[in-house]
Amino acid sequence: MADHAHEPTEHTHLLFPRSRFDEEARSVITKEEGALAGTAIGERLAYNDYTTIDWLHDLVKDSYRFRALHSREGLRARIICNFDACSGWIAVSIIGALMAFVAVAVDLSVATVGSWKYGYCSKNPFLSRETCCRWAEEEGKPCDQYKLWGDSYGMRFGIYVGWAVLFGIISSSVTMLSKRALPSVTPKKDYSNGITTSLNDNLTAGKSLYMSAGSGIPEIKTILSGFVIPHFLDIRILVLKAVGAVFAVATGMSLGKEGPFIHIAACVGQLVAQIFPKYQENGKKLREILSAACAAGLSAAFGAPIGGVLFAYEEVSVYFPRKVLWRTFLCSMVAAMTLRALNPRGTGKLVLFETNYGTLYRPEHYLVFIFLGIAGGLWGGTFTMANFRWAKWFRSLPTIKDNPVFEVFLVILITAALQYPNPATRAPGDIIIKNLLVSCDGTKDTWVCQNESRDDGRWDYIAWLAYGTLVQLASTTITFGLKVPSGIIIPALVGGALFGRLVGQWVTTISPGIFAMVGAAAFLAGVTRMTISLCVIMFELTGELEYTIPHMIAILVAKWTADALSKESVYDLAQSVLGHPFLDTDHALTLVQHQSSSLVEALIPPATTMVELTINVPPNNKVSRKVLKEKLGYLHRRGLMDGGVVLVQKGLLEGYIAEPELDFGLNKLGKGFGDDVEVRLLGDSEEGEYDLSTFVDRTPITICSRAPMEYAVEIFGKLGLRYLCVTEEGSGKLIGFVIKKRLLIYLDGLKHE
């Protein structure tokens, strides 16, 4: 996320009223936290490149803002208060409408660019094949205005592959432009021992990310859980993601645009939120808007407003109270309404794969639905492991590691060469699904229905379905993780629909399209472990409410089967591979419960670390500026952007002061003071004193060192804390100071035991 959007919200005064220094403090702290890292000295923790927000302190900060706003009188004050109360509803409405426009632009661009692989529209080359032929098909006439490339199969095949490779190179090249380095703290001054010498004046970068690659969902989950990924939601990334997604989907690779739509929607949400100071200056409030925006992304992608709300709740959000649920509902609804009004598909409907099977399933068909669920779970469970091993081996090869665009070139070349010969997989992903879900009632004249009406055994048709299933699943395994914008939803649906249609060839009592529909849901459930949201999305995609139970059976069986093979969904795996911090309390509690004895004391930092991060405050409540500069130097050298020091008096915890506040207090407010001056940290200040007590959090959350580790997991997860102080059992003395990142490192260690 952009620096100007988040850093101010994380370091304003937290548990005390606003002072006259607030505005200046915000601007200075923004610059400090945006600085890039230099030398790494001392004990450095993993995830130092990510800052965290403190949900509890942001809640208190918003309370002070609310009270200050409502303490004023007069008509103007009432208008401002009413606008403030409505600002959330206004923001999500704008986000929903804007996301629908972006989705339509991307959809139309994908349709046009993707059509160029097959031919061109003679009356307007910028029309897609579907748009070019729409009027002719409505009148029952052949489409003469869309011209295929060449007259021979060989020429069409070569041009198809050539266009696909070109589109892939363009998409990957655009993605390369989104490479950004995550910032770390720059230790501009070495304050240890009172010496003020420059350690490193050059800006250096921490970990690098291709911010427009992949779906963006793992990063969005990281952000919504309380971490900050600078620049990830910038308008520049939005543009690169949208352009890259158009050309990536147009290649015909096993990827979809629905996942990237979530990232694009979050970018739109970030941009709109900056209009409202209420969200611009508070990390917790901003994440409420981002949760709603994610729902609009899926709503605009599938025309599934209810499914979008449930997806935001089930899959990406950590903090989702009822107020957020209502606003998410509105955001998703506005996105769907705008999408229907724009009518990009020309049908006037939101339903993407409308079906009407007309036949009812019988109890014996439950066995087939269970079988589809098992198959989907087996593929979902093995996919995560196979994709991880493939990436670990293939992407570690020097040529591939140093040339991501070359990897895209190879995968597209292989995928296009294998897909084009098969009539079942030659079309774009959404068209493939639409063709496979069709019910052949005698009036349909599609390739699928023509073959299923034959009475000669249809072994060549069955072979094409089997071949298509294997190619789709294999190509999805090697495609996921490429340096292009890509999602897993459409590829999984295509693989499941192919397999379900294949199974349906041996069950002749109902339409094979029913098994294609249920198989698609099962395979997607196996990969993502979605349940309720996926079930609703399938209803909204197909309009088939009658098949609630078959979907529920297949989805649950797929999830159980996949969980038995691998606990991580594809998004969890991506988070682990990319190294993003994320505290999943359910998984964390499972890890901790498998330990015979796991207590909070295991999180306590080494003694040397605690000495450096602790300030012993004498009875006069004052400490020399020299001591504070030493402590600030220790924080800088650890590279912590969201660390701090604890204040102790007679062994008892008295407060906490964050690194940015300490830095501001020493280097801005205390610019004219010498190192020997006494700085007040506790108690009431007197006139003329050098006072930093207003920067001290006097109510830090504590936990006993002998408490079960589950307590720490729940407190960090449910309260959204940035830090937790550990006290000794019996005496109550401070013996440890734990930040969220240290808990994550501990949990990572348990995963690899």
CA-closest candidate to residue 600, choices 494, 503, 704: 704
Q: Which residues of 720-739 are buried (b: 16+ CB within 10 A; e: fewer)?
A: bbbbbbbbeeeeeebbbbbb
Residue 624 lies in a domain: yes
Confidence at residue 24, expressed as pLDDT on a 0 to 100 scale:
33
Given a cut of 50, whether residue 397 has pLDDT beyond it is yes
Tens digits of residue pLDDT in 540-565: 999 888 899 999 999 999 999 999 99
Of 52-56, 131-135, 247-251, 662-666, the least confident: 131-135
The answer to whether the CB of 154 falls within 8 A of the CB of 227 is no
**Is the per-residue pLDDT at 122 higher than 50?**
yes
Question: What mean pLDDT is predicted for residues 532-541?
Answer: 93
Let me know: does 332 contact 308? Beta carbons within 8 Å.
Answer: yes
Same domain, residue pair 199 and 299: yes
The total of other beta-carbon atoms located within 10 Å of residue 620's CB is 10
pLDDT (tens digit per residue) in 665-679: 888 887 777 778 888
Q: Taking Cα atoms as reference points, which of 119, 111, 112 lies closest to residue 151?
A: 119
Residue 748 lies in a domain: yes
Q: Are residues 27 and 97 in the same domain?
A: no
HEC letters along 7-44? HHHHHCCCCCCCCCCHHHHHHHHHHHHHCCCCCCCCCC
Q: Give the least confident one: 108-117, 253-262, 615-624, 679-688.
A: 679-688
Contacts of 534 (CB under 8 A, 6+ apart): 307, 521, 524, 525, 528, 555
Cβ distance 438 to 513 under 8 Å?
yes
Label residues 144-181 b or e (16+ Cβ within 10 Å = b): eebeebeeeeeebbebbbebbbbbbbbbbbbbbbbebb
The whole-number pLDDT of residue 632 equals 87
Mean pLDDT within 327-352: 89
For residue 134, being part of any structural domain is answered with: yes
pLDDT of residue 345: 79
What is the per-residue pLDDT for 444?
A: 66
Please report, for the domain that includes residue 707, its CATH number: 3.10.580.10
> Measured at the alpha carbon of residue 559, what is the angle toward residues 575 and 305, in degrees to the nearest 5?
75
For residue 497, give the CATH number of its domain.
Answer: 1.10.3080.10
User: What was the pLDDT predicted at 206?
Assistant: 57
Q: Say whether both 259 and 336 belong to one domain.
A: yes
Query: What integer pLDDT is reported at residue 583 of this predicted model?
Result: 83
Judge if 423 and 510 occupy the same domain.
yes
**Residue 238 within any structural domain of the chain:** yes
The mean pLDDT value of the chain amounts to: 84
Q: Does 245 lie in the same domain as 305? A: yes
Residues 134 and 172 occupy one common structural domain: yes
Q: With 90 as the cut, is the pLDDT of residue 201 above it? A: no
pLDDT at 753: 63
Last residue of a domain, one of 517, 533, 554: 554
Selected residue with higher pLDDT from 751 and 114: 114
Query: What pTM value is reported for the model?
Result: 0.85
| C-alpha pair distances (Å), 523 with each of 7, 131, 489, 519, 741 | 41, 31, 10, 6, 34
User: Is position 737 within any domain?
Assistant: yes
Are 172 and 314 contained in the same domain? yes
262: its two tokens: 């979530």
> Which comes out higher in pLDDT, residue 191 or 624?
624
* Residue 354 placed within a domain: no
Q: What confidence category does residue 245 fall into, taking pLDDT thresholds of 50, 70 and 90? A: very high
In angstroms, the CA 97 to CA 107 distance is: 15
Would 700 be classed as within a structural domain? yes
Output 724 or 28, whichever has higher pLDDT.
724
Q: Are 165 and 412 in contact (CB under 8 A)?
A: yes
For residue 209, the cross-strand partners are 180
Residue where a domain stops, chosen among 535, 554, 573: 554
* Residue 198 pLDDT > 60: no
> Is residue 401 one of the residues assigned to a domain?
no
Checking if the pLDDT of 517 tops 80, the result is yes
Domain range holding 465?
363-396+418-554
Are both 149 and 246 inside the same structural domain?
yes
Q: Which of 202-211, 308-317, 528-537 has the lowest mean pLDDT?
A: 202-211
Integer Cα distance of 401 and 237 in angstroms: 23
Q: Which residue blocks in 480-582 are alpha helix, DSSP H?
A: 489-503, 512-528, 532-542, 548-565, 570-578
Given a cut of 90, whether residue 133 has pLDDT beyond it is: no
- Inter-CA distances, 536 with 313, 552, 554, Å: 13, 10, 13
At 185, the pLDDT band (50, 70, 90 cuts) reads: very low
pLDDT at res. 45: 61
Chain segment 90-120, per-residue pLDDT in tens: 999 999 999 999 999 999 999 999 999 998 8
Question: pLDDT tens-digit profile of 405-414?
Answer: 999 999 999 9
Position 183 scores a pLDDT of 64
| 195 in the same domain as 103 | yes
Residues 33 and 94 grouped into a single domain:
no
Euclidean distance between CA atoms 579 and 640, whole angstroms: 17
Pair 327, 370 in one domain = no
Which residues, in sequence order, are CB contacts of 327 under 8 Å at separation 6+? 88, 89, 92, 288, 289, 292
Sign of the torsion formed by the C-alpha atoms of 509, 511, 516 and 519: negative
Token reading at 663: 């830095």
Q: Give dist(CA 209, CA 214) in Å, integer.
A: 11
- Report how many domains make up the chain: 3
Pair 285, 138 in one domain: yes
Q: How confident is the model at residue 489 (pLDDT cuts 50, 70, 90)?
A: very high
